Chain A
Amino acid sequence: MSVDTSVRLPGMPVKNPVMTASGTFGYGLEFSPYGDLRALGGIVVKGLSLAPRQGNPMPRIAETPCGMLNAIGLQNCGVEKFLRDKLPRLPWRDTPIIANLYACDADEFAELAGVLSAEEGVAALEVNISCPNVKAGGIAFGQDPCMAGKLAEAVKKRAGDKPVWVKLSPNVTDIVSIARAAVLGGADALTCINTLTGMSVDIRSRKPRLANVIGGLSGPAIKPVALRAVWQVCQAVSAPVIGVGGISSAEDVLEFILVGAHAVQIGTANFMRPDMAFRIAQRLPELMAELGIEDLASYRGSLRVG
C-alpha cells in the first residue's frame, strides 16, 4: 500500500509532518552527519534574537524521570550570523527552514520579523512567546491573551508573505484563550507546546540542579500534557496546529495527528539519539501502511470520543 505523508500548511506544502523543535536540533547542521536533512518535513532552528545572547550560567540541564529540565536561556548567535553563516548551508530549497524568534518586546519582535521575512531561505516564522528561562518577555507574553494577540499582530505585519506560527506555553490556566487570541492577532498556525516549568534539587548539597533554579521540563514525561493541549486547541481554532512534546516514535506522531495536529516537532528525543527525527520520518509511512492509513488528512482529528 502506498501512503501519502504530505501535509498542507499555510503557504508551505511539506513532504511529511516530521519536523524538529527549536532548541533541540541546533541550527540543523550539527545533525547532518546523522541523516539527510532533506528527508525531514521541516527544521525549526534554535531561537534567534536580534543580537547574540550568552544564555544562562551553568549548570543548565538536569535529567528527570523520562525527561529533562533545561534553562539554556536562549543562547544563540544572533540573526545576522545565522543568515550569513548557517542558513546558506541548510537545504532550504528542499525542506522548509523555520526561524524561531525571541525578543524582549513587540517592537523588537517586529524588527526581527522584518529581517527574516526578507530571506528566501526562511519558510516561516515561529514566534516564541513561551520560553520559561528568560527574565524579559518569554513566558510573560504567552500567559496573557491580550499580549499574545498583540505580538502575533506585530510580527504578522512585518512578516510579508511568510506564514507566522505562534508557539504556546502550557504554563497557563487556559491555553485555548491564548490560542484564540494568537489566531485573532493573525497567527497562521500554532505550535503546542513549549516546556512545562519545573525544578529539581539535590538533598545533599541543598542546591538546585539548575543555576537558574527553575527550568523547562521536556521529554516523554510531558507527552500526555502536550496531547491534551493539542486536542483542546484543535477543538477551538481552525488554524493548523503543530504538536510538540515528548514525541519519540512514529506511533507518537500519529497520536498527535489523531487528535488534530497537522504536523509535529521532535524535540528532546533528538538528544536520545541524533538520528531520531530521521528514523521517525522513515518509519512513519511504514506504520501508516500497517494501519491502513492512506493519507494524513483523512486520519487527522478522527479521534472517536464517546
Chain B
Amino acid sequence: MALSGACRDLTILSVTEAGPEGGAHGCYYIELANPGLGSAVAGQFVMVRPACFGQDPVWPRPFSICRLTPEALTLFVQACGRGTDALCRLRPGDTATVWGPLGQGFSLEPDTPTLMLAGGVGLAPFVEYAATHPVPANLALVFGHRQPLSCYPFAEMAAVVGRAEAFQENTPEDLPRFIALLETKVAEYAGGLILACGPRPFLMTVARLARRFGARAQVSLENRMACGVGGCLGCVEKNALGQYVQTCTQGPVFWVEELQLSEEA
C-alpha cells in the first residue's frame, strides 16, 4: 500500500531561544529540516507531533507557519503547557511528524493598505505574511505583548514592513490604553484590510472595532484542536447563522462578519 506521504517525519535542525531573554520567558524558534510541504498561504498552520510524545500527550499541536522555505519550516513557540514544553526541549536530530499546510490563510491584497494586529505568539503568522507580501511597504503592524520585545520576532518584521509599533502590557491600566490604540488604528485602516491573530479577548476587541468602523477584517482563531484535519469536530466555532464551522478546515482565518465570536465559542 502506498502512503500518500502527507504526514512527514521531519528532523529538528535547531531549537533556539528567541532573543537573549527568550529562554527565561519560554519563547523559542524551532526549525525543522526539508519540510517538503510545498507552498503555503500565510495564516495556514501545521500539526506537529514529536516522537517523544509517545502515547502522552495524545494530541499533536497546531502551529501557525512562522516561516517556510524549501530548506526549513520555522515555528515560533511559547512553552505554556506539557506539549509546548516538550517541543521546546527538543534537540537537533530529534524527529517530529508534521502534516500541513492546513486550513485557510490570510487574504493577500498587494495594493491595499493592510494593518496586521498581533498579540503575543499571534505574531508568528505575520512573519510569513510580511516575508511573502509583494509590497511590504503597504503593511503596518501593531503588536501587543507582555514579555520583553526581544522575545518576539518583532525587530525583523519592523525592518521589512512600512510601519511597526509595539505596545507592552505591564499593568491592568495598560489594557484600556492598548484598546484605545487599537481603536485609532482600526479607524485609520477602515478602508483597507485588517488582519488579527492573538488571544481570544484580543480578537473579540478587534472584531468589535471592525464592526463599528465598517472595516474589512480577518481574525485567526486558536481553538483547541485534536486532529487538525476535520475529523474530530472539537474545534468548532459558531458562524453568523449560529451554525458550527470547523476552525481547522474552514478557518483558522475567518472574516469577522462570518462569526459570532462569543466568549466561549
Contacts and interface: CB of A to CB of B under 8 A. Distances in A.
B55 A248 contact: yes
Contacts of A281: 1
Interface residues of A, number: 43
Contacts of B57: 63
A55 interface: yes
Contacts, number: 120
A36 B229 contact: no
Contacts of A23: 232-233
Nearest to A60: B234
Nearest to B234: A61
B199 to A, nearest CB: 15
B265 interface: yes
A45 to B, nearest CB: 11
Given A31-B231, A33-B6, A59-B224, A273 B236 contact: no
Interface in A56-92: 57-63, 65-68, 70, 72, 75
Contact of B265 (A25, A58, A272): A58
Contacts of B231: 24-26, 30-31, 270-271, 274
Contacts of B235: 61
B56 interface: yes
Contacts of A109: none
Contact of B226 (A25, A35, A61): A61
A111 interface: no
Main secondary structure of the interface of A (DSSP, over half): loop
Interface residues of B, number: 35
Contacts of B97: 273
B230 A271 contact: no
Contacts of A59: 224, 234, 264-265
B99 interface: yes
Interface of B: 1-4, 6-7, 49, 53, 55-60, 97, 99, 223-224, 226-237, 243-244, 249, 264-265
Given A35-B1, A270-B231, 8 more contacts: A61-B224, A61-B234, A61-B235, A63-B58, A271-B231, A273-B60, A275-B4, A278-B1
25 contacts: A23-B232, A26-B229, A30-B230, A31-B231, A34-B6, A34-B99, A35-B3, A36-B3, A57-B265, A58-B265, A59-B224, A59-B265, A61-B234, A63-B59, A66-B56, A68-B59, A68-B226, A72-B234, A75-B236, A75-B244, A220-B55, A270-B227, A273-B49, A274-B231, A282-B1
